[in-house]
Amino acid sequence: MSLVDSQRASFVRFAVLAAFFLFAATPVAAQRRAASARRGAPSATVTPTADASITLGTAKYEGSVDANCTRDERATATNGRFYYHIMYPWFGARPAPGQPQWRFELDVSRPTRPGVFEHFVFSFNDGPKSGTIQNVANGKRMGTGTVRVTPHGAGARFDVAGRSQEGDAIRATIDCAAFPASEAAGG
């Protein structure tokens, strides 16, 4: 290897290392590291953010889980955005060891009248056992049901009752301790 080739290889190694360290120090990388820790990384401790009790047919599921409980203040009764969004596990994540392995999602539109939540989507999945209720404006209806929202402190309790699109009875109570303020794009 000539001196020029050796210097070029050293420069390339230096440039790659510098780019790696520069990226690792950006706010985006810090967000990814924090999200990974929160979403069940092996070294992360799981802190429950919601209690869930779900009955699908004759099967009953209960647990304190690390759910993503959010409220979108930009949602209106007509713009198609959901006001409340609760998801377990977090999007793209697997449940952490020791946490329930089933999944649920509840999306509730902002009401047209105070306290009357007519439009929502609830879905539950535990392997081959699943159920969905969907009642949204301008969308295909799946199953039938109602949702009651009871705010408390920084959080809220959600009671879903109905029949899934498959015909199974569904009862779900999800209690989110809080709805953390969302961050604007870019942190």
What is the sign, positive or negative, of the torsion defined by CA atoms of 38, 63, 152, 145?
positive
**Tell me: the pLDDT tens digits for 96-111?**
788 888 999 999 999 9
Assess whether pLDDT exceeds 90 at residue 68.
yes
Average pLDDT value for residue range 56-76: 94
In this predicted structure, the answer to whether residue 25 has a pLDDT above a threshold of 60 is no
Residue 36's CB is within 10 A of a number of other CB atoms, namely 14
Q: Give the residue among 94, 86, 99 at the shortest CA–CA distance from 45.
A: 99
pLDDT of 150 strictly over 90? yes
What pLDDT is attached to residue 2? 60
Q: What pLDDT sits at residue 17?
A: 43
Q: Hey, what are 187's tokens?
A: 């942190």
pTM of the model: 0.74
Q: How many CA atoms lie within 13 A of 83 on its CB side?
A: 19
**pLDDT score of 129:** 92
For residues 19 and 41, the model is more confident at 41
Identity at 108, one-letter amino acid code? V
124-138 pLDDT per residue, tens: 999 889 999 999 988
CA dihedral 47, 38, 67, 55 (to 10 degrees): -80
